[in-house]
Chain A
């Protein structure tokens, strides 16, 4: 759905200098490059903002996000003639403070991102590593199954999984996590295949290292760069897809202050309260944009082959 859908080239961390000049570790090199990358820094700034909102929601939010008030229904934002400072971004049809709901919404979206990305990262990495390392039948079975998951438009598969599991935020996170597993599996498999042929792996094997040690301690750490990029972009699509599911009533349920669910509620109000639609959507847009920007920047910084 997002930039994550575009193909990511396999890559590896920048090789250290020859060791003759003063050499810096590949990680430091990459971080220095990242700091010079404007897109990445803008992305990072946006994400930091949302992280602060998520972490300090109870202190930042002026009101309880689910507290209803009949007296302050559909109040417009403060800059409107009828707006008040008490509700800076206005209120919804239950009199709930929009700003507070948006701030708490950051918390939910970050959790959704962490949980769904963890699911796809964990299973995708293991599946991809096994497929790449053992090859043959195992590879075939795992990758054919991944192809199968890719045979569905991702949002459709997520909708259908939630339809059968039952609508809830937890099930939405599971569905989104499962849907993205193939992206990670393909990436890791490709990287493992590339690394496996290299001398250091064969040397470790000759020294008697067990398979699990080879995979997790030798090969995977060297496949990290593309995985970090994919994970960052994965956050973007997870947040977007979760908001979509909640918008359709298949994710977070009312009165949870989730941005997508808030949009669904605001949809009935578009003739009367534009603010109830506008602000939650902007939050979704900016958080997704933040992760996409950082992901793009990371790709440039971590993959020297893509740099000119």
Chain B
């Protein structure tokens, strides 16, 4: 097991290296002069020169990349054009918001998705089964940026139950500990803040959870159905155990293996979906930040943000692999 873990971690190095090459060369996709694109046509020659220097565009390509890499190794992603703040600082400030949103979305997706999948499998071909499978097909086809807007119209504009956007009401203050507002308000026993934070996260988290929820429901159903057909389940039923015990104690455990892989993979995909969700709900996370950098043509920040998100993405996928091998020792052989 240990050698497997070490091998997986080592395999991450060339991937991250590759990501850095790709991210670095992206700036050369820009038609024309990136510095001029960033600052506009009326920028002074002096300002242009400074930006070119900061981006390293005034040096030969290999020198540029070498500089990029050595700065990267020191955890320095440069400064954001708009704020002149360090990119790493800006990202660090916004990362917890995205993490909190992703976790909340995953809680929705896993509980509702697995529940729907299990109930569908144990009641195969029932009305519930059909409707939940139709819903899950709709779910995987869902433009989540639209769903978010529709939820806003229903629950904020018409019913007024949930706040329209943002992460917290203006008058609420939370003592930052982890940066995860729900956790922080729990730790400081700040109940009004807890309620406010939960109220704010419901809609964005549900929106973000749609696609993973649908996929988890489908996988859980098919995996459960496969397990339920096996001999040991028939034996358990023949012994006279109640269906509940057979389903939840005997079948579910073995049906979970593929479900867990899918859950892990969805976590990475949430990072992508977060860009759309955060935009709609003005959620101050890394996705919204990156998009604003795109709008401002702040190429330095875009590169830094992309580098970080992609690295997080592959790291999560690696952790999923390891977790999977730990749960299911059979795959280690191959």
Contact = CB atoms under 8 A, between A and B. Distances in A.
A236 B211 CA distance: 14
Contacts of B271: 153, 156
Contacts of A296: 137
A173 interface: no
Interface residues of A, number: 49
A160 interface: yes
Nearest to A281: B146
Given A148-B19, A164-B30, A274 B291 contact: no
Given A151-B313, A289-B137, A278 B150 contact: yes
A289 B138 CA distance: 6
B18 A244 contact: no
13 contacts: A1-B269, A148-B18, A151-B314, A160-B294, A160-B302, A160-B306, A161-B26, A163-B294, A166-B30, A236-B141, A277-B146, A284-B146, A285-B142
Contacts of A248: 275-276, 279, 291
A266 B275 CA distance: 19
B306 A152 contact: yes
Given A152-B306, A281-B143, A267 B18 contact: no
A280 B276 CA distance: 17
B145 interface: yes
Contact of A263 (B30, B149, B269): B149
Interface in B52-95: none
Interface string B293-316: 011010100100010011001100
A55 interface: no
Interface string A272-290: 0010011011001100110
Interface of B: 14-15, 18-19, 22-23, 26-27, 29-31, 137-138, 140-143, 145-147, 149-150, 152-153, 157, 211, 215, 268-269, 271-273, 275-276, 279-280, 290-291, 294-295, 297, 299, 302, 306, 309-310, 313-314
Interface on chain B toward A: helix, strand, loop, or mixed SS? helix
Contact of A243 (B14, B143, B297): B143
Contacts of B143: 240, 243-244, 247, 260, 263, 281, 284-285, 288
A164 B29 contact: yes
B18 A153 contact: no
A277 B294 CA distance: 24
A144 B18 contact: yes
A147 B273 CA distance: 20
Nearest to B310: A152
A150 to B, nearest CB: 9
Interface in A257-276: 260, 263, 266-267, 270-271, 274
B295 A249 contact: yes
A131 interface: no
A159 B146 contact: no
Nearest to B144: A244
A3 interface: yes
A293 B137 contact: yes
Contact of A155 (B18, B150, B276, B299): B276
Nearest to B29: A164
A165 interface: yes
B31 A165 contact: yes
A72 interface: no
A25 to B, nearest CB: 31
Contacts of A156: 271-272, 275, 290, 306, 309-310
A5 interface: yes
B14 to A, nearest CB: 8
Contact of A292 (B140, B153, B280): B140
A39 B218 CA distance: 15
A154 interface: yes
Contacts of A202: none
A270 B309 CA distance: 31
B26 A271 contact: no
B18 A263 contact: no
A50 to B, nearest CB: 13
